[in-house]
Structure 1
Amino acid sequence: MQPRPAPSPLAARFTTPLARLTTAAIAAVLALALLAQVRVADETERPAPLRADLMAAEPNPVTPGNFTGYGFDQCLAPTQKAMDAWLHHSPFLSVGIYISGNSRACRSQPNLTPTWIRTQLQKGWRLLPITLGPQASCSDRFPRYDDDPTINPRPGAEGLYGKARRQARREAVKAVDAAQRLGITKGSTLWYDLEAFDHTNRHCRESALSFLSAWTTGIHKLGYKSGVYGSVGSSVLILDDARVKRPGTYVMPDMLWLARWDGVANTSSSYIREDGWRPGARVKQYQGGHDETWGGVTINIDRNYLDVGRGSVADPEDHCNGTNINPKKYGVLSPGTEATVQVKALQCLLKERGRYDGKLSGVYNDATVASVRQWQSDRGFPVSDRFSVHDWIALHMDNANTVMKVGSAGPAVRRLQRALRAAGVWSQPISGVYDPATASAVRAYQKRVGLKETGIANGKTNVKLDHGRR
């Protein structure tokens, strides 16, 4: 990762004066402070208590969680306006952010606040929080400043590189402190960025391995997962070699972020073995720094491809005690239509929306017609005894306003796929996972209704579907 400095004012500190807290909130703060007193090895540092307003709110989701798709990283956390533009128009749904480390180019992060973190997570972004602290002693680009020491290369009396390990434990505490202040939930992955260095230099290499091992141990003790970013020709290479040739000598990170600018959007590289950190524990930075413009906003980024956790998956669904709401076709229904899967699916969907309280008979009877007419009236559609393809599309979208793209997963994607099936552009299973095939179907729909063919189900596309356009 090549951090690109950008001048900006000092980031504000995030504190809440005790005078503004309730008695209960103060008690909660004190209780959490006691729980947070984690001693890491022989270090006395510990993460600061969380902000009271963050404790009061529902915790943010663990990040990056389960995801397969595209991401970007950039030195300076973008503004909210830029993030929104890129959410609606770019292929990315993951973003790397620098949260700590004295060696990072963007020490000042004026946009990076607890509100920024919470907002991105709520909008569906997956975050990769990065620490860029002490770098390898033989790196030709560090130290960058006067107060960013490199990893201590001295092996010590026992040859265990104790000073490097202590440096790492301190960095782990600092990273967790920064993560907690920002509202990044325990269980999330915190990444250490170890830039390229000469891995043939023995003490430089061994001290770096010791540092990364202690970093992972420290991160684990504080309740987070450990990730390491690095060049496939140095830090990634030495970790993979140590994993295979010296098993048990070092604690391995949970995830690897490979820097290999080969232009291939996958998580593989010929530099490391395929069996390590699989499945679901790899990220690959496949393109280095360059400008991209989406939604009228230009950012200088690196491109990434992620395959983490279980990948993009949708939990099983159940409708009306096992009713099939995914027939192969959503056709026109008229009074008198009997015993069809489509009618039963319609009755179930109307029941879930509080529009139908009859039996799921599969018969398009008077009660079903009355419910249909009421639903059409409420949506501002022409009222009719018939339920048309136009109605099916709108019923499935159900006023959805979620931005969906490759990597998205869940109930909203299932509704989208059903709407696309009703529109005649989707014939594959209703998986709930927005994969390249779903993006292709969205492009086909966008072309049909006169929209720009992006493959992203954003505002304009969702409005067309919600209005039943076909």
Structure 2
Amino acid sequence: MPHQRTTPRRLLVLSSACVLTAAAALALAPAATAEPATSVAYPSGASATRYSGLALDTCTAPPLASVQAWSSSPYRALGVYVSGVNRTCAQPQLTAPWVASVSQLKWRLLPIHKGLQPPCGARPTDAKISTTPATARSQGTAAATEAVTAAKALGMRPGSALYNDIENYSQTDTTCRTAVLSYLSAWTKELHRVGWVSGVYMNLNLGAAQLAAVYTSTGYARPDALWIARYDGVDSLKGWSGVTDSKWAVHQRAKQFRGGHDETYGGVTLNIDTDRLDAPVATVTHPYKVTSTTALNARTGPSTSYPVAATYAPGTTLDVVCQAPGSKVATTSVWDKLPNGAYVSDHYVGTPSDTGYSSPLPRCTYPYQVTAANGLTERSGPGSGYTAVGTSPNGALAWVTCQRTGTTVGTTKIWDRLDNGHYVSDHYVATPSATTYSKPVPRC
């Protein structure tokens, strides 16, 4: 039973769906606050982070020295079990200082909650989800609260993705199926309510296919990301049996494609599972000092035109959440977002770059699910008259960086700029407001 797994699991990847005309999309788009695409209430200091590449996970978080030794490996993301009644491995290394140190080494973290398990599966000794749907939902809400509390204690920020580990279960037991789906729906809704991103980890054939079957169901809230286990050695985020490529399609997938085995880097051997990711992970802050010779103004948005929210003395250490584009100050147009939601010009902060973005800081993004039933057209500008340049399928994450006004679509003139530079009408995105700007997304 390597790394707390009872059987292999896997993830799903999605591809584009067909493009609707504006009129057809309007008719088919569900309300932004309704299931399955529930909105996310990101607090002011939140931002999402994603990782694309190889990852590993181990039952017990390895010592910092081992992570340092693995700097020569192809891995740059690490799964860690942060909470859950069925988390069986001790975690002596998993502390806030460890998280901060690993993050400074430019590793991304995948927080895993191993809580209640299916009533018709997993290990006989595991604590189980109730077969009463209402109770299962309350258990899912409690699981989200527990996971958020644990993640916060480790220094993880709102906007982080948390993955609920659901082991294999019977696919013919309808009562069990309803219990699992009810539990995960409540998990997603509660995470969204408090500003976190919802992930689920499942066996491809013994769980994930059932989650995919209710992808558009108005009875269940849809998670933002899917991490599957299937130990077939195939390093691919597409072509999953039972999960079409049009589901969880935009940086929303991970796959555990090889089970427990030993690998050695830098003279250190670890027993790991191997994963391929293109998915949201944890957001953490990174400390940098104020380099200005006078007090540094922090503003309510990424521009000198925004009001001053606070000031920081020279030499002050700032915890930076993410970086965003804004008005140019001296050599750079990059602004650093702080945990209180304020922004400071990167020109006066000791990040590695004086002109551009600095790794490992992520770009400030706010992912919300696309609600257009047959897909949402991405355009070159904020209006239906601009050239179509892509499509986001139903349920895809719109990785929003900022909002601005454009042509009216449905009930709103707001258009969302995505991190790929394209624009989509906010009418088809599950942001908190259906009519105006949605905090904490800045204006373009």
TM-score, structure 1 as length reference:
0.51
Determine whether 1:128 maps to 2:128: no
Task: Determine the structure 2 residue equivalent to 1:306.
Answer: 277
Cα deviation code 1:195-222 (max 9, x no counterpart): 0111211101111000000011111112
For the 8 Å contact 2:262–2:271, the answer to whether it is kept is: yes
Task: Determine the structure 2 residue equivalent to 1:153.
Answer: 131
Assess, with a 3 A threshold, how the Cα gap between structure 1 residues 296 and 168 changes in structure 2: closer, same or farther.
same
For the 8 Å contact 2:47–2:158, the answer to whether it is kept is: yes
Aligned to 1:234, the other structure's residue is in SS state: helix
State how far apart, in whole Å, the 2-side matches of 1:118 and 1:62 are.
Answer: 17
Cα deviation code 1:317-361 (max 9, x no counterpart): 999989xxxxxxxxxxxxxxxxxxxxxxxxxxxxx9xxxxxxxxx
Aligned to 1:243, the other structure's residue is in SS state: coil
Aligned to 2:214, the other structure's residue is in SS state: helix
Higher relative contact order (CA 8 A, sep 6+): 2
The structural deviation recorded for 1:182 is 0.8
Assess, with a 3 A threshold, how the Cα gap between structure 1 residues 2 and 235 changes in structure 2: closer, same or farther.
farther
Cα deviation code 1:87-110 (max 9, x no counterpart): x2111000000000011221x211
Task: Determine the structure 2 residue equivalent to 1:77.
Answer: 61
For residue 249 of structure 1, the aligned residue among 219, 223, 226 is 219
For the 8 Å contact 2:4–2:87, the answer to whether it is kept is: no
Q: Which amino acid aligns with 2:270?
A: I
State how far apart, in whole Å, the 2-side matches of 1:279 and 1:215 are.
Answer: 21
The structural deviation recorded for 1:410 is 5.8
Cα deviation code 1:1-57 (max 9, x no counterpart): 95349xxxxxxxxxxxxxxxxxxxxxxxxxxxxxxxxxxxxxxxxxxxxxxxxxxxx
Determine whether 1:281 maps to 2:252: yes
The structural deviation recorded for 1:260 is 1.4
State how far apart, in whole Å, the 2-side matches of 1:163 and 1:309 are.
Answer: 29
Task: Determine the structure 2 residue equivalent to 1:109.
Answer: 91
Give the structure with the higher percent helix: 1
Counting only pairs closer than 5 Å after superposition, residues 36-47 of structure 1 correspond to structure 2 as none
Q: Which amino acid aligns with 1:80?
A: L
Task: Determine the structure 1 residue equivalent to 2:75.
Answer: 92
Aligned to 1:285, the other structure's residue is in SS state: strand
Counting only pairs closer than 5 Å after superposition, residues 7-46 of structure 1 correspond to structure 2 as none
| RMSD across aligned positions (CA) | 3.1
State how far apart, in whole Å, the 2-side matches of 1:137 and 1:129 are.
Answer: 24
Task: Determine the structure 2 residue equivalent to 1:460.
Answer: none
State how far apart, in whole Å, the 1-side matches of 2:200 and 2:128 are.
Answer: 17
The structural deviation recorded for 1:270 is 2.4
State how far apart, in whole Å, the 1-side matches of 2:138 and 2:324 are.
Answer: 42
The structural deviation recorded for 1:66 is 3.0
Task: Determine the structure 2 residue equivalent to 1:3.
Answer: 3
For the 8 Å contact 1:142–1:150, the answer to whether it is kept is: no
For the 8 Å contact 1:260–1:284, the answer to whether it is kept is: yes
Q: Which amino acid aligns with 2:228?
A: L
Assess, with a 3 A threshold, how the Cα gap between structure 1 residues 275 and 79 changes in structure 2: closer, same or farther.
same
The structural deviation recorded for 1:271 is 2.9
Assess, with a 3 A threshold, how the Cα gap between structure 1 residues 91 and 319 changes in structure 2: closer, same or farther.
farther
The structural deviation recorded for 1:274 is 0.6
The structural deviation recorded for 1:282 is 0.6
Assess, with a 3 A threshold, how the Cα gap between structure 1 residues 140 and 280 changes in structure 2: closer, same or farther.
closer
State how far apart, in whole Å, the 1-side matches of 2:168 and 2:259 are.
Answer: 14
Determine whether 1:205 maps to 2:177: yes
For the 8 Å contact 1:3–1:105, the answer to whether it is kept is: no
State how far apart, in whole Å, the 1-side matches of 2:175 and 2:85 are.
Answer: 22
State how far apart, in whole Å, the 1-side matches of 2:181 and 2:205 are.
Answer: 14
Task: Determine the structure 2 residue equivalent to 1:141.
Answer: 123
Q: Which amino acid aligns with 1:100?
A: S
> Structure 1: 5+ residue runs without aligned partners?
6-58, 155-160, 323-351, 353-399, 401-408, 414-470
Aligned to 1:167, the other structure's residue is in SS state: helix
Task: Determine the structure 2 residue equivalent to 1:10.
Answer: none
The structural deviation recorded for 1:411 is 5.6
Assess, with a 3 A threshold, how the Cα gap between structure 1 residues 219 and 316 changes in structure 2: closer, same or farther.
closer
Assess, with a 3 A threshold, how the Cα gap between structure 1 residues 69 and 220 changes in structure 2: closer, same or farther.
same
The structural deviation recorded for 1:243 is 1.0
State how far apart, in whole Å, the 1-side matches of 2:207 and 2:276 are.
Answer: 19
State how far apart, in whole Å, the 1-side matches of 2:102 and 2:276 are.
Answer: 19
For the 8 Å contact 1:97–1:128, the answer to whether it is kept is: yes
Task: Determine the structure 1 residue equivalent to 2:291.
Answer: none
Task: Determine the structure 2 residue equivalent to 1:329.
Answer: none
Determine whether 1:171 maps to 2:143: yes
Counting only pairs closer than 5 Å after superposition, residues 246-395 of structure 1 correspond to structure 2 as 247-268=217-238, 269-308=240-279
Assess, with a 3 A threshold, how the Cα gap between structure 1 residues 263 and 181 changes in structure 2: closer, same or farther.
same
Task: Determine the structure 1 residue equivalent to 2:163.
Answer: 191
The structural deviation recorded for 1:276 is 0.4
TM-score, structure 2 as length reference:
0.54
Determine whether 1:119 maps to 2:101: yes
Identity percentage of aligned residues: 37
Determine whether 1:233 maps to 2:216: no
Aligned to 1:141, the other structure's residue is in SS state: coil
Give aligned pairs, total.
259
